[in-house]
Amino acid sequence: MMKHTLNGAGIALGIALMFACNQGQKSQEAANTPDAVAANVDSTVSPTQDYFDYANGGWIKRNPIPPEYNSWGIGNLVKEEIYKRLLTINEQAVANPNDAISKKIAAFWKSAMDSAKINAEGIQPIEPLLKEIDAATSVEQLIQVAARNNAAISSPFFLYIGQDAKNSEVMAVQFYQGGLGLPNRDYYFNTDARTANIRNLYPGHIARMLQFTGMDSAAAKNAAKQVFDLETNLAKSSRKLEALRDPEANYHKMAVNELGKLANNINWAEYLQLQGITKFADTVIVGQPEFFTAVSKAVKTEPLDTWKNYFKWNLINSAAAKLSDTIATADFEFYTKLIGGQDKQKPRWKRVLDAEEEYLGEALGQLFVKEFFNATAKKRYENLVEDIRTALKERIEKLDWMSDSTKQKALYKLSKITKKVGYPDKWKDFSAMEIKDQSYFANAVAGRKWWHKYNIDKLGKPVDRTEWDMSPQTYNAYYNPSNNEIVLPAGIFTVPGKRDEELDDAIVYGYAGASTIGHEITHGFDDEGRQFDANGNLKSWWTKEDEKKFNDRAAVMVKQFDGYVVVDSLHINGKATLGENIADLGGILLGWDAFKKTEQYKKGVSIAGYTPSQRYFMGYALGWLGHTKKESLAKRVLTDVHSPAKFRVNGPFSDVDAFYEVYGVKPGDGMYRPDSLRVRIW
């Protein structure tokens, strides 16, 4: 994934198992488990017709989605294992809090697991904030309340601290559109039946939640309409998902007083000061100027009561999961069940671990890697990064559409990509995070406050390029264009039920080399990442002719993915998903080039009835093993820059010549695309 940090913590959420773990099995037990890819095959499906269903369909048929999930696949299998290990860490911390990290983990765990106390408190934890909102006598004061209590009440826009896209050595204050209670602006305007139903039910949900704050049903219904109308107004000035992927179009650097001219009904100097930004903020970077003008206009034109209701809704909406079961369940039923398709809540202990990851993920990681990390596996994947880097180097050198001058800059950028594998060399210091014996909500706020200050404190200091924005146990990875780096947490390489040394190179090069390492490296050269230079600055380094040739080739991929129907009448958004689709295709090509140099490929010995070449493609498909409910698929089409799993396999495979050769794909087959329509970029 391409890194886009907009939250206060600045960390990606997700939990997964370290790749070096024994998965809870003894060596002999693990050796007796089914082959990692052969066991998943559905032999009733031809690989030339639907490769995803062929490679993963057998597993999908045997593994229905549990009611407490909206999807079920390899990521969940990994997470289930890590849940158990993190549960043990928390229980040990409670039993024996022998250091500062263990004490914080124990305090957070106990406050979050004490459901009797949480239910008895009800709305009490947020009552002081509700009173602050009620006491405001102007919209300006309400904005001040939100700024002062930024760890609990969000403003109708995002503020975050990040590297200046055009000067990556400097941390900058950045503003981005936000403020919507539905997943994104399309939910306010799309006319398909599923989205329209969600939009129609949304005001009722707002009213239900506002009643928890003490409003009677009639007042809550009226307030909900005000909130919905205000959000709809803000949504009109919000950019669409695909428009947010253009880094140049979403970069507007200006002095703070210029921001005042852009949106003159907010005292921005005061707002920044209340956020704790008292220096190093002469300039700010605004992503979408028109949105801030719309907010400013609404501050002037919308009544005070409307804004009070908006902030009350905002507060309880963000706090719901940390409050009583009655409130948390209402939140679940709208967002997770209706929109996401998940029938049943996860048990409390898993929800608590998910929340704990947000605030204390790296602290948990410190304890985690002490027990569950293998240096041999770390070295294997560090070497694999270099194999993939070499594969891209060779591809760039052979490109027939790129000029020599752009090639040299591309090769230089490639050589400068930093790899981070496994876990950080330097850990964050969480000693000032005030997690203690207090309410669950208060501990969550304490965690957010710490992260907010941590990020604010970066202003005026040299950029720390050693920092990680994911914990070691995360089942994910990212490319950060401002640092020109790929970050590969240990968890992303895990194959459930198998120790690393039990995996043959074909699987590893497909699963880790293609779907992760090659994917992330290619992000440095996708439609967005290619606009950043070797030092991480948004700066053109392409000739105009080469840029046009790239865009023409990328347009072929946009058209290809626009044609895929996911659920109901919803198509993939080819422009919004372009970067991820390019990275998927690039990863497959790079992994294949690197795999062809291995002894396993050269010897050609079959395992479990499959050739090394077949196992490579099966290994890549393993990375997307799983299935998803229709409700969640519909949400992802509207909000996610990644294509659904099935199309992350079938889509790029149909563009790979080697896939045609290995499986004998012919015209008329479901996986076939004419040579003239196949995507040719890297």
pLDDT in tens, 241-253: 999 999 999 999 9
The percent of residues in the chain predicted with pLDDT above 70, rounded, is 95
Statement: residue 187 has pLDDT above 60: yes
- Write the CA distances from 574 to 245, 519, 526, 559, 676, integer angstroms: 12, 18, 14, 7, 19
pLDDT at 9: 34
pLDDT band at 303 (very low <50, low <70, confident <90, very high): very high
pLDDT for position 24 = 30
pLDDT band at 3; cut points 50, 70, 90: low
623 within 8 A of 511, measured Cβ to Cβ: yes
Residues 139 and 55 in one domain: no
How far apart, in whole angstroms, are the C-alpha atoms of residue 194 and residue 199?
9
Answer whether residue 650 is part of any domain: yes
DSSP-assigned beta bridge partners for residue 570: 567
Q: How many angstroms separate the CA atoms of 461 and 452, rounded?
A: 16
Q: Is the pLDDT of residue 18 over 70?
A: no
Whether 524 and 422 share a structural domain: yes
Q: Which of the listed residues 302, 318, 334 is the one where a domain comes to its end?
A: 318
- Looking at residue 32, its pLDDT comes to 60
Residue 585 one-letter amino acid: L
Q: Is residue 15 part of a domain?
A: no
Q: Are residues 64 and 150 in the same domain?
A: no
- pLDDT for 4 beyond 50: no
And the tokens for 504? 């043959």
From 6-20, 283-297, 395-409, 498-512, the region with the lowest mean pLDDT:
6-20
- Residue 273 and residue 355 in one domain: no
Structural domain includes residue 20: no
Examine the fold and report which residue of 299, 318, 337 is the final residue of a domain before the chain moves on.
318
Same domain, yes or no, for 77 and 211? no
Q: State the average pLDDT over residues 23-46.
A: 71
207 and 129: one domain? yes
- Please indicate, yes or no, whether the overall pTM of this predicted structure exceeds 0.85: yes
Domain identity same for 71 and 129: no
One domain, residues 128 and 186: yes
pLDDT tier at 6 (50, 70, 90 boundaries)?
very low
Residue 548 lies inside a defined structural domain of this protein: yes
Mean pLDDT for the chain overall? 93
Per-residue pLDDT at 466 = 95
Residue 141 counted as domain residue: yes
| Confidence (pLDDT) at 227 | 98
Average pLDDT over residues 92-98: 93
* Domain-embedded: residue 202: yes
pLDDT in tens, 50-79: 999 999 999 999 999 999 999 999 999 999
Judged against a pLDDT cut of 60, whether residue 14 lies above it is answered with no
Cα torsion 28, 32, 33, 36 to 10°: value is: 100
Residue 16: predicted pLDDT? 27
Start-end of H helices in 19-174: 27-31, 51-62, 74-95, 100-113, 115-121, 127-135, 139-148
Residue 266 belongs to domain with CATH number: 1.10.1380.10
Q: Is residue 236 part of a domain?
A: yes
Counted domains in the chain = 2
Query: Among residues of the chain, what percentage have pLDDT more than 90?
Result: 89
Q: Based on the domain organization, do 248 and 150 belong to the same domain?
A: yes
- How high is the pLDDT of residue 10? 35
Domain end (from 318, 336, 363): 318
The answer to whether residues 630 and 544 belong to one domain is yes
Question: Are 240 and 369 part of one and the same domain?
Answer: no
- 624-637 pLDDT per residue, tens: 999 999 999 999 99
| pLDDT over 90 (residue 390) | yes
- pLDDT 10s digits, 468-496: 999 999 999 999 999 999 999 988 988 88
CATH of the domain at 392: 3.40.390.10
The mean pLDDT of 218-225, rounded to a whole number, is: 98
- Average pLDDT (557-586) is 97
Within a domain: 103: no
pLDDT tier, 279 (very low <50, low <70, confident <90, very high otherwise) = confident
Unique residue bearing structure tokens 């939009």: 199
Measured between alpha carbons, how far is 607 from 38 in angstroms, rounded to an integer?
9
Q: What is the pLDDT of residue 498?
A: 86
Q: What range defines the domain where residue 447 resides?
A: 27-89+351-677
- Residue 19 pLDDT exceeds 80: no
What's the pLDDT score for residue 2? 64
Write the burial class of residue 44 (CB in 10 Å: 0-12 exposed, 13-18 middle, 19+ buried): exposed
- 249 and 381 fall within a common domain: no
